[in-house]
Structure 1
Amino acid sequence: MQLTLNGISHRYGGMPVLSDITLDIPAGEIVCIVGPSGCGKSTLLRLIGGLERPDEGAVLEHGAPPDDSLNPLTYIFQDFALLPWRSVAGNVSLVLEDHGLGKAETDAIIDDVLARTKLSDFKTALPRQLSGGMKQRVAIARALAVRPAVLLMDEPLSALDSQTRELLMDDLVGLWSKTPFTAVYVTHNLNEAVRLGHRIVVLSRRPGRIREVVSIDMPLAERAARVGELAAKQEQLWSLIRDEAAAADMELIDA
């Protein structure tokens, strides 16, 4: 399923947050959204996911989701959002419980997504027993369980330390390489953007407008080894953001 953002504008009260965002999100691509603090990245993701309605414009869906999709647009949050009294398998099963699936089918889905996220051996563990990286793997497994057409990822690695973030990026690349998925990935981390994004959308300072769309024509699986080329792309992104990021930082301090 492909998405098109057509002239999206949004405001909170009298404050404009996003202005005239027009963008295609092709099927099978990871599109990263970056920009200075307060530019509307997370707001844009909420509009795409239907949690809010834009004041102007529309989010258009092209093509049907997969036949077995239980939830076409599915979120992965930065804070994991796990139920502490449920096991790993229980947290994954939560999203399957209102879909009329039999036990055998539910168990098969859980076993599949836990295997894909390297969690099979931790099926009965509780969230308090897991590291931050493992908790986020549970959140990813839970999202995959509903077979989404589009993953909406809101700074999913920002709460993790740098080593765990590297491992999770490798995991996401591995998941995409085996079964390409469509994703909109919001991040403030330019390293994540160049490692994971097929295209990187740079938003301006509030109200967020598209300043530039940077494409990276390099297979995801090769990027970890091509550090120099990625560093150049990262510097290109930072050159687009630097001045407005500094201004936004001062605005937050003054506020």
Structure 2
Amino acid sequence: MDIRLDGISHYYGETEVLRDITLDVPSGQIVCLVGPSGCGKSTLLRFIGGLERPTKGAVLQMGQPPEGCLNPLTYVFQDFALLPWRSVRGNISLVLEDHGIRGAKADKIIADVLARTKLSDFAKALPKQLSGGMKQRVAIARALAVNPAVMLMDEPLSALDSQTRELLMDDLIALWDRQPFTAVYVTHNLNEAVRLGHKIVVLSRRPGAIREVVEIDRPLTERSFADVDLERTQKHLWTLMREEARAADEELLDV
């Protein structure tokens, strides 16, 4: 299933937040949204997820969700959103219970996503026993359990230290390589964007408008933190954003 944003503009009161966003999210690709603080990245994600409606324009779902899809659009948050009294398995099973899936069918799905996220040995652990990186793996496993058409990832690695972030990026790449998924991925981290994004959408400061769309043809599995070409792309992205990021920061400080 593809997603198309068609002329999205939005106001909060008299404040224009987004201006004329037109964008395609092709099936099987990770599309990263980057831009200065307050440019409307998370707002755009909420429109895609149907949590809010834009003032103008539309979000179109094109084609059919994958077979067995329980939730066409599924969020992965930066704060993990795990229930502390439920085990790893219990947190994953929760989304299946919402669809009436229990017993052997649920067991099969849970076993699959635990294996895919390298959590099989931690099925009985409680969230308090897990590191931040492990908690985010659980959140990703929970999202995968409903076989979504599109994952909406709102800065999923921002709460993690740099080493854990690198490991989780490797995990996400391995997951995608094994079974390609579609994602809209909001991040402030340009290294994440060039490592994970097939398409990187650079938004301007408020009102957020598309400044440039950068496409990276290199396979995800062939990218690394020391890649010279990716470093060049990252510098280009920062050149696009630097002055606007400074201006946006000053605007936020003046509030």
Query: Aligned AA for 1:138?
Result: V
Q: Match for residue 191 of structure 1?
A: 191
* Structure 2 Cα separation of the partners of residues 60 and 159 of structure 1: 31
Q: Match for residue 243 of structure 1?
A: 243
- Aligned-residue offset at 1:225: 6.5
Return 5+ residue gaps in structure 1 as ranges: none
Q: Match for residue 110 of structure 1?
A: 110
Q: Does 1:143 align with 2:143?
A: yes
- Aligned-residue offset at 1:226: 5.5
* Structure 2 Cα separation of the partners of residues 224 and 12 of structure 1: 40
1:224 counterpart SS class: coil
* Structure 1 Cα separation of the partners of residues 162 and 226 of structure 2: 19
Query: Aligned AA for 1:62?
Result: M
For 1:193-246, what per-residue CA distance to the aligned partner results, in whole angstroms no more than 9, with x for missing partners? 000000100000000000000011111001016511110000000000000000
For 1:132-175, what per-residue CA distance to the aligned partner results, in whole angstroms no more than 9, with x for missing partners? 00000000000000000000000000000000000000000000
Q: Match for residue 91 of structure 2?
A: 91
Query: Aligned AA for 1:222?
Result: E
Moved over 2 A (4+): none
- Aligned-residue offset at 1:100: 2.4
* Structure 1 Cα separation of the partners of residues 47 and 102 of structure 2: 33
* Structure 1 Cα separation of the partners of residues 195 and 129 of structure 2: 29
User: Alignment identity in percent?
Assistant: 75
* Structure 1 Cα separation of the partners of residues 142 and 100 of structure 2: 17
Q: Does 1:175 align with 2:193?
A: no
Equivalent pairs, count: 255
* Structure 1 Cα separation of the partners of residues 51 and 118 of structure 2: 31
- Aligned-residue offset at 1:189: 0.2
Q: Match for residue 47 of structure 1?
A: 47
- Aligned-residue offset at 1:14: 1.2
2:61 counterpart SS class: strand
- Aligned-residue offset at 1:98: 2.2
Q: Which moved more, 1:7-16 or 1:73-82?
A: 7-16
* Structure 1 Cα separation of the partners of residues 226 and 135 of structure 2: 29
Q: Match for residue 210 of structure 1?
A: 210
Return 5+ residue gaps in structure 2 as ranges: none
* Structure 2 Cα separation of the partners of residues 225 and 32 of structure 1: 17
Q: Does 1:163 align with 2:167?
A: no
* Structure 2 Cα separation of the partners of residues 217 and 93 of structure 1: 36
* Structure 2 Cα separation of the partners of residues 137 and 58 of structure 1: 32
* Structure 1 Cα separation of the partners of residues 225 and 17 of structure 2: 38
* Structure 2 Cα separation of the partners of residues 226 and 164 of structure 1: 17
Mapped contact 2:195–2:225 kept (Cα < 8 A): no
